[in-house]
Amino acid sequence: MSGRLLPLLKRDMARLLLGGRGGGAVMPVLFFLTVAMLYPFAVGPDARLLARTGGGVIWIAALLAAILPLDRLVEPDIEGGQFDQWALRGMSEEIVIAVRVLAHWLSFGPPLMLAALPAAALLGIDEPTLRTVELGLLAGTPGLAALGVTVAALTAGLRGGAALGGLLVIPLAVPVLIFGAGSLGSGGDSGLALAAAASLVLLAIAPFAGGAAVRSARS
């Protein structure tokens, strides 16, 4: 079994990172940077205001960037028959979805954490805040990845599934956002811990909810 997970992860990573027509991991990162770049234009060049609110903007941008690849996460493999072939080889939907969550996180989490460095410079965020932002992203983005894959599985095959998926992800991501961005205000570790806890809950649910959704999409 484990001998099959690595090839699967490699294939998922290649699809999500390089991504063909969808633009792969480059698009969410560019989108993220664009939001960070637009924000000073919108609120004006007040450096103190930017520094105070910049961390929150990075979180919003990260959340929106995580939504971009939703329609490529699960649906093509249901349409293409890959899930059927995996099931015939004894690879359960839960395992495949768990691997997909990992691949999705690897393709957008670390790139966003890297992109947060230039974004922080654009917004004039100081170093301690940047550190909290990075740690918050590390704690929160796995949850966003799990949520994205779950919702992508639930909305696969529905008309307008991608748009509906985006609408579903945003409210469900609120706990991660509150604790992740909240850790900036308090500057405390408790916010980070709670963001990580919310993340873990989403990670624990994703394989089962996503797997059940893929199975029910068959009939």
- 8 counts as binding another protein under rule CB under 8 A: yes
Residue type present at position 211: G
Cα angle value 1/142/126 (rounded, 5°): 145
- Which residue lies nearer to another protein by CB, 32 or 86? 86
CA distance linking residue 168 with residue 171, whole number of Å: 6
CA distance linking residue 209 with residue 125, whole number of Å: 38
CB of 127 closer than 8 Å to CB of 183:
no
- 79 counts as binding another protein under rule CB under 8 A: yes
- 72 counts as binding another protein under rule CB under 8 A: no
Touching another protein, residues 19-48 (CB under 8 A): 20-21
- 87 counts as binding another protein under rule CB under 8 A: yes
- 126 counts as binding another protein under rule CB under 8 A: no
Contacts of 131 (CB under 8 A, 6+ apart): none
- Out of 41, 48, 88, 159, point to the residue binding another protein (CB under 8 A): 88
Q: Footprint of another protein on this chain (CB under 8 A)?
A: 3-4, 7-8, 11, 15, 20-21, 76, 79-82, 84-85, 87-89, 218-219
